[in-house]
Amino acid sequence: MMDNRYRIEKHFLSNDLVKVFLVVFGCLLFQNGFSQNLPEVKLDEAWKAKIQGLAPEKASFPVSKRKKILVFSLHTGFEHWVIPHTEEVVKILGAKSGAFEVTASKDIRMFEAGNLAQFDAVVLNNTCSKPDRRNIFWDKLALENPETDTVLLMQRAADLEKSLLAYVEDGGGLLVLHGGITMHNNSRAFSRLVGASFDYHPVQQLIDVKLADPSHPLVQAFPKTGFRHVDEPYFYKNAYETLDFTPLLYFENGKITEQKISNPEGVTYVSWIRPQGKGKVMYCSPSHNAQSFENPDLLRFLLNGMQYVVGDVDCDETPIGKSRN
């Protein structure tokens, strides 16, 4: 009997040690970047209710009047599963705060000058284009008009891009979310407008996001020490090299795993703002996953960003330039 009990106790002790080892080992892997993709979250009434409850009751900054925002959610390239969730988040933030009237669309004709004129700002919601041309207007036009002359379609696509550029230059706002930066990734003009072009991203991993300036009014929602979340750490090229923007969030390069080129020094920015003519632009990389929106601080930050691009926020917009990278 004693031998049997000993064997049983030894068996359970051994199993418990294995479990503890697996948990600790798993946590270490996760913290060092070897995380798996988060599971997709169903966009149902329960999830909407959760976000509704977490969203800010009111805007952070004074609202002169209710502004109109277009959230554009077309993709022709990579489809982020979070696209419908992000669109819903923008709608909830606008409605609950009372600061915005949000219109959602996937129609590229909304970028014609007459249509853009209806809105105070545009939100590009993961508007990923196809890798071959990296031009979402061309992608859509070519798909809808396969028999039309290529030169005519290219001109039409160029006209729509020019319309967006002129819209911001004349005072419109632009908020670019996550993969939205690839919408016209080969366009130097679009890269200058947004502040960068997408280069690549390693695997999803746990990222320590830091505040570039904890005193900046747009990041007041976050703890001064920053926050952690699982995401694709984006790296950038083209206009990013000039750092013609005011950074808001960043991560330390040395903490990111599986980079194409080992880059242990310095930081990469996660979010920034910049004025363009009379208009305002903000880029925000978070998030690839709907779970990130369950952080009320991030919801507040996005609402702050919406207010910034429509001109409700008076804040420092000094570009940092190359010397401070």
Does pLDDT of 114 surpass 70? yes
Token pair in block for residue 299: 């919801």
The span from the CA of 251 to the CA of 153, in Å, is 40
What is the pLDDT at residue 36?
A: 57
Domain 40-324 = CATH 3.40.50.300: no
Stronger pLDDT, 1 or 85, i.e. the higher one: 85
Mean pLDDT for the stretch of residues 93-111: 98
* pLDDT > 70 in the chain, percent: 87
**For residue 322, what pLDDT band results from cuts at 50, 70 and 90?**
low
What is the pLDDT at residue 16?
A: 45
Q: How many CA atoms lie within 13 A of 263 on its CB side?
A: 14
**What are the pLDDT digits (tens) for 216-254?**
999 999 999 999 999 999 999 999 999 999 999 999 999
Does pLDDT of 181 surpass 90? yes
The span from the CA of 248 to the CA of 235, in Å, is 16
Domain limits of the chain?
1-31, 40-324
**For residue 22, what pLDDT band results from cuts at 50, 70 and 90?**
very low
Mean pLDDT for the stretch of residues 99-114: 98
**For residue 10, what pLDDT band results from cuts at 50, 70 and 90?**
very low
Does pLDDT of 9 surpass 50? no
> Comparing 172-186, 234-248, 260-274, which segment has the lowest mean pLDDT?
260-274
* pLDDT > 90 in the chain, percent: 79
The secondary structure of residue 37, as a DSSP letter, is P
Mean pLDDT for the stretch of residues 36-57: 93
The span from the CA of 286 to the CA of 180, in Å, is 11
Distances (CA, A) of 62 to 72, 99, 251, 310: 26, 9, 31, 12
Does pLDDT of 28 surpass 60? no
Does pLDDT of 68 surpass 90? yes
What is the pLDDT at residue 132?
A: 87
What is the pLDDT at residue 11?
A: 38
- Residues 6 or more apart whose CB falls under 8 angstroms from that of 215 comprise none
Distances (CA, A) of 259 to 47, 161, 199, 263: 34, 32, 11, 7
Are 145 and 155 within 8 A, CB to CB?
no
Average of per-residue pLDDT values in the chain: 88
Does pLDDT of 21 surpass 50? no
Encoded amino acid at 85, one letter: H
What is the pLDDT at residue 252?
A: 95
